């Protein structure tokens, strides 16, 4: 109960409504692979094919940047909209024009239809690309655009409405002979009725609000009692979040895969299926790693799914890009889940294997052009993998959001066949208002092994500082034997990490490598400390600096390491095993390429201090080590053990000032980085945040009160 409550709270904090799905994204440095990497993209852009003069992107972050890039290639002028906090965001800088549509909260900016309509009028944009999330599946928005004679880049209102409704879409799917999951949808009178329905279908069943999408608010019931509980929860949510009482109760498919078919249809009754995407790796029903194609589908199943998806698209006279989601059980039975009438987050992997630019096709179709491809033209070229890089702590429930400034940020674009779709850059703020996605990291290869190999390399070469990120988890997933064999399901993460994610577990050899790298780095720095330029008064008597006897603490272990150096190569003896470590030893670079006995590793030294503490990101995971000379280590044992004061559980005022807002109350669950209260001092508003996730034990201040420096404000349990 506590766990699910926490999820609810976190979910609510992240975004009160799934339609607010807003993703953050690309940097100025992200020279993005559409341009840099030809292999990922073969789409042709015909400058004579007239579409629109000017297009407004009703979105932010990476997807706004993504759309702008295609527009540029198609010769279309772009208009960005933004909230006030986003005024210097990447998508704003990239667009030809930008209009502020309101303050930070999405309801007042990116969902503010009046302001967006005004922006369209003001800039005379002829078309609007909604991206995903926000207003992308909002039929009211599509209707308002239509009434103003502005083209909505997406399907028509009818298709959005039909597919946006779980019950109607399922009915339509049934009629189009698409496999559907047995179940009931409609208004459920009471818990007894819910139980009756559940028994009819047979346990386990899934219960959720019809109007809610994705996995949000989904409850699984294995018994009558759980059905009653699920009914209470879902009907409450249905009423409060969606104003729509209808519930969906259906057969729950245990251990399913989530595989979706990308479709593309025009206004001339042509529709194509662009193969599938495997999106089974999820946490809390949100996708983390996606790939195309799926290891699981054989050509017949693929065709059957593709044809059903196309049949459904045709049944609703669908035009534009869309996605038909299926659950696939272990015997390759597939069931229609829902259809997303927008561009998906994970569309780039389809682009990689088919060579199509989906945004370009959406714009063409919206203009009324017929599709340029026939089904037989749609290839599966190679393999593509996408990792969603999030600002979140994967060690907590596979990812609790974190916020902060990207103090250093460098995308791994020097690795070949890498595409990074992002909408942020060094210095960008990951804030509480929008989705904490940093980027989509996509790699491509002639086969899956190559794509995964590149992904490993890309993750190792990705520099993200200033916010906690989930690189460690992503890297562990893509090298996990089960994943490598393609043995995945939507329960992959909880199955593989039943006690939660704990980071990479070093093998003996890897541990030796880490120790060798860390000690070499330490010696390199020690040697550099003695390199003065000019003519300083340095002792001419050279010290014997060729042999370093060091003791290293890593986790619970202490290791005796001897390092001797010869130019840029260090010979390191770890527990009697000799390793040769070579690198440039550039102490300023956030990335270091190191060769250990012929094995190349890319490591990141995140911090190091004079007292020998060093943290290194190695194989995706950050390890903390302490390196001391033998002498310092010997003397360290006399140092008193100090009880570490837990300052994460208390929040003290860092300055005298007035409390403006207290954002929590006792009993609230807060996540790390969440705002606790705001203190105003000298007209400066300082947001004080939780140093860890937890439950609020006591609140000692209230809005309007004056507090002194060091005053206790809030205690966590």
Active-site positions read: 338
Min separation Cβ 598 and other proteins, Å: 25
The verdict on 611 binding other proteins (CB under 8 A) reads yes
Task: State yes or no: residue 567 binds other proteins (CB under 8 A).
Answer: no
Nearer to other proteins, 55 or 627 (CB): 627
Beta bridge partners of 200: none
Size of the site for other proteins (CB under 8 A): 57
The answer to whether the CB of 694 falls within 8 A of the CB of 666 is no
Interface with other proteins, residue 187, by CB under 8 A? no
CB of residue 32 to other proteins, shortest distance in Å: 16
Write the binding mask 393 to 412 for other proteins: x where contact by CB under 8 A, - elsewhere.
Answer: ------------xxxx----
User: Strands 54-57 and 77-83, how do they pair?
Assistant: parallel
Contact between 140 and other proteins by CB under 8 A: the answer reads no
Residue 105 sits in the site that holds other proteins (CB under 8 A): no
Task: Write the DSSP string, 21-38.
Answer: -------TT--THHHH-G
Nearest one of 601, 404, 388, 407 to 515, comparing CA atoms: 601
Answer yes or no whether residue 637 interacts with other proteins by CB under 8 A: yes
Where would I find the H helices in 49-156?
A: 61-74, 90-94, 113-123, 139-147
Assess 632 for contact with other proteins (CB under 8 A): yes
Kindly indicate which of the ranges 63-71, 304-312, 424-432, 468-476 contains the residues binding other proteins, using the contact rule CB under 8 A. 424-432
Look at residues 40, 189, 58 and name the one whose alpha carbon lies nearest to residue 111.
58
* 12, 35, 577, 631: which one binds other proteins (CB under 8 A): 631
Q: What are phi and psi of 390, to 5 degrees?
A: -115, 150
Residue 349: which of 282, 272, 261 has the closest Cα?
Answer: 261
Backbone phi and psi for residue 550, each to the nearest 5 degrees, phi listed first = -125, 155
593 contributes a contact to other proteins by CB under 8 A: no
Nearer to other proteins, 401 or 657 (CB): 657
Query: Cα dihedral angle (397, 402, 407, 409), rounded to 10 degrees?
Result: 50
The residue assigned the tokens 């946490």 is 283
d(CA 572, CA 602): 18
Measured from the CB atom, the residue of 3 and 533 that comes closer to other proteins is 533
The CB-of-655 to other proteins minimum distance in angstroms stands at 5
The backbone region for 248, taken as left when phi is positive above 0, alpha when psi lies in -120 to 50, beta otherwise, is beta
Q: Is 591 in the site for other proteins (CB under 8 A)?
A: no
CB 55 within 8 A of CB 129: yes
Distance CA 467, CA 439 (A): 13
Say how many CA atoms lie within 13 Å of 669 toward its Cβ: 14
DSSP H or E stretch at residue 481: helix 481-484
Among 148, 634, 646, 717, binds other proteins (CB under 8 A): 634
Contact window for other proteins (CB under 8 A) among 130-138, 322-330, 636-644, 696-704: 636-644
Closer of 3 and 540 to other proteins (Cβ): 540
Q: Closest Cα partner for 160 from 422, 338, 414? A: 338
Q: Which of 587, 600, 646, 647 binds other proteins (CB under 8 A)?
A: 587
Of residues 290, 429, 460, 711, which one binds other proteins by CB under 8 A?
Answer: 429
- Among candidates 186, 188, 248, 191, which has minimal Cα distance to 217? 248
Does 171 help bind other proteins (rule: CB under 8 A)?
no
Closer CB to other proteins, 442 or 627, in the complex? 627
Asked whether position 647 contacts other proteins by CB under 8 A, the answer is: no
Smallest distance, other proteins to C-beta of residue 7, A: 32
Residue 532 CB, shortest distance to other proteins, in Å, is: 5
Total residue count of the chain as it appears in this document: 717
Compare residues 204 and 427 and give the one whose CB is closer to other proteins.
Answer: 427
**Contact window for other proteins (CB under 8 A) among 84-92, 363-371, 373-381, 481-489:** 84-92
The answer to whether 426 and 466 have CB atoms below 8 angstroms apart is no
Q: Please report whether residue 688 would count as binding other proteins according to CB under 8 A.
A: no
Q: How far, rounded to the nearest angstrom, does the alpha carbon of residue 217 sit from its chain's CA centroid?
A: 20
Residues 529-548 that bind other proteins (CB under 8 A): 529-534, 536-539, 543-544
Check residue 706 for interaction with other proteins (CB under 8 A): no
Pairing type for strands 54-57 and 127-129 reads parallel
Taking the least distance from each CB to other proteins, the nearer of 220 and 606 is 606
CA pair distance 337, 294, nearest whole angstrom? 17
Binding of residue 88 to other proteins (CB under 8 A) = yes
Which of 83, 169, 241, 425 touches other proteins (CB under 8 A)?
425
Q: Which residue has the tokens 């800088």?
A: 93
- Which residue in 311, 310, 301, 251 sits closest to 278, CA to CA? 301
Q: Which residues from 452-481 bind other proteins, rule CB under 8 A?
A: none
Confirm or reject binding of residue 684 to other proteins (CB under 8 A): yes
CA 151 to chain centre: 30
Nearer to other proteins, 381 or 564 (CB): 564
Question: Cα dihedral sign for 597, 599, 602, 603?
Answer: negative
Task: Rank residues 151 and 592 by Cβ distance to other proteins and give the closer one.
Answer: 592
Residues 87, 236, 255, 546: which binds other proteins (CB under 8 A)?
87
Per residue, what are the HEC states of 140-189?
HHHHHHHHCCCEECCCCHHHHHHHHCHHHHHHHHHHCCCCECCEEEECCC
Residue selected from 379, 427, 494, 503 as contacting other proteins according to rule CB under 8 A: 427
Among 402, 417, 428, 621, binds other proteins (CB under 8 A): 428
Cβ atoms 431, 22 nearer than 8 A: no
Does residue 28 interact with other proteins by CB under 8 A? yes
What is the smallest separation between the CB atom of 59 and other proteins, expressed in angstroms? 20
Residues that bind other proteins (CB under 8 A): 28-29, 84-85, 87-88, 405-408, 425-429, 528-534, 536-539, 543-544, 586-589, 609-612, 628, 631-632, 634-640, 642, 654-657, 681-686
């Amino acid at each position: 109960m506590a766990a699910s409550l926490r999820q609810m709270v976190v979910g609510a904090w992240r975004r009160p409504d799934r339609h607010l799905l807003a993703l953050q994204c690309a940097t100025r440095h992200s020279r993005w692979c559409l341009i840099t990497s030809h292999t990922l993209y073969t789409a042709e852009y015909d400058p004579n094919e007239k579409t629109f003069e000017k297009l407004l992107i009703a979105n932010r972050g990476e997807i706004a940047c993504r759309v702008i890039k295609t527009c540029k290639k198609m010769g279309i002028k772009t208009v960005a909209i933004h909230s006030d906090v986003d005024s210097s965001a990447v998508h704003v800088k990239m667009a030809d024009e930008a209009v502020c549509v309101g303050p930070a909260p999405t309801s007042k900016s990116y969902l503010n239809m009046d302001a967006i309509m005004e922006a369209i009028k003001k800039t005379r944009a002829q078309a609007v690309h909604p991206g995903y999330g926000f207003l992308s599946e909002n039929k009211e928005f599509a209707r308002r655009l239509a009434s103003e004679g502005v083209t909505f880049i997406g399907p028509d209102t009818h298709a959005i409405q039909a597919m946006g409704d779980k019950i109607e879409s399922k009915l339509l799917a049934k009629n189009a002979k698409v496999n559907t999951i047995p179940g009931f949808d409609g208004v459920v009178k009471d818990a007894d009725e819910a139980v009756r329905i559940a028994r009819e279908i047979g346990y386990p069943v899934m219960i959720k609000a019809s109007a809610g999408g994705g996995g949000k608010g989904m409850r699984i019931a294995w018994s009558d009692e759980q059905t009653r509980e699920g009914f209470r929860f879902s009907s409450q949510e249905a009423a409060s979040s969606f104003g729509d009482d209808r519930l969906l109760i259906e057969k729950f498919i245990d251990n399913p895969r989530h595989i979706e078919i990308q479709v593309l249809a025009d206004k001339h009754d042509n529709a194509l299926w662009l193969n599938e995407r495997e999106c089974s790796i999820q946490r809390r029903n949100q996708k983390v790693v996606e790939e195309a194609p799926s290891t699981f589908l054989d050509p017949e199943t693929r065709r059957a799914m593709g044809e059903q998806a196309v049949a459904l698209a045709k049944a609703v006279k669908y035009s534009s890009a869309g996605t038909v989601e299926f659950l696939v059980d272990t015997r390759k039975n597939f069931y229609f889940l829902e259809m997303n009438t927008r561009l998906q987050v994970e569309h780039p992997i389809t682009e990689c294997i088919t060579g199509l630019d989906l945004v370009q096709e959406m714009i063409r179709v919206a203009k009324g052009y017929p599709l340029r491809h026939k089904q037989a033209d749609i290839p599966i070229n190679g393999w593509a993998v996408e990792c969603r890089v999030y600002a979140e702590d994967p060690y907590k429930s596979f990812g609790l959001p974190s916020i902060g400034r990207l103090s250093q940020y460098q995308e791994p674009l020097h690795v070949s066949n890498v595409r990074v779709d992002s909408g942020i850059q060094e210095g960008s703020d990951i804030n509480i208002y929008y989705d904490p996605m940093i980027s989509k990291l996509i790699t491509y290869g002639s086969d899956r092994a190559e794509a995964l190999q590149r992904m490993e390399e890309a993750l190792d070469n990705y520099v993200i500082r200033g916010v906690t990120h989930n690189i460690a988890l992503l890297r562990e997933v893509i090298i996990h034997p089960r994943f490598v064999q393609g043995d995945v399901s939507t329960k992959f993460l909880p199955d593989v990490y039943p006690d939660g994610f704990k980071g990479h577990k070093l093998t003996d050899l890897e541990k030796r490598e880490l120790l060798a790298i860390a000690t070499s780095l330490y010696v390199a720095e020690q040697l550099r400390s003695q390199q003065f330029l000019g003519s300083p008064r340095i002792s001419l008597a050279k010290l014997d600096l060729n042999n370093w006897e060091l003791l290293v603490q890593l986790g619970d272990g202490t290791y005796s390491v001897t390092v001797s150096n010869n130019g840029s190569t260090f010979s390191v003896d770890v527990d009697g095993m000799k390793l040769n470590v070579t690198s440039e030893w550039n102490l300023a670079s956030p990335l270091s390429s190191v060769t250990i006995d012929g094995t190349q590793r890319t490591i990141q030294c995140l911090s190091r201090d004079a007292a020998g503490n060093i943290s290194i990101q190695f194989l995706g995971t950050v390890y903390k080590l302490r390196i001391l000379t033998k002498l310092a280590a010997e003397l360290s044992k006399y140092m008193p053990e100090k009880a570490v004061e837990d300052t994460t559980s208390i929040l003290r005022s860092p300055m005298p000032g007035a409390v403006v807002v207290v954002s929590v109350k006792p009993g609230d669950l807060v996540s790390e980085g969440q705002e606790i209260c705001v203190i105003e001092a000298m007209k400066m508003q300082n947001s004080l945040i939780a140093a860890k996730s937890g439950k609020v034990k006591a609140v000692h201040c209230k809005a309007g009160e004056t507090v002194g420096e060091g005053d206790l404000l809030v205690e966590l349990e």
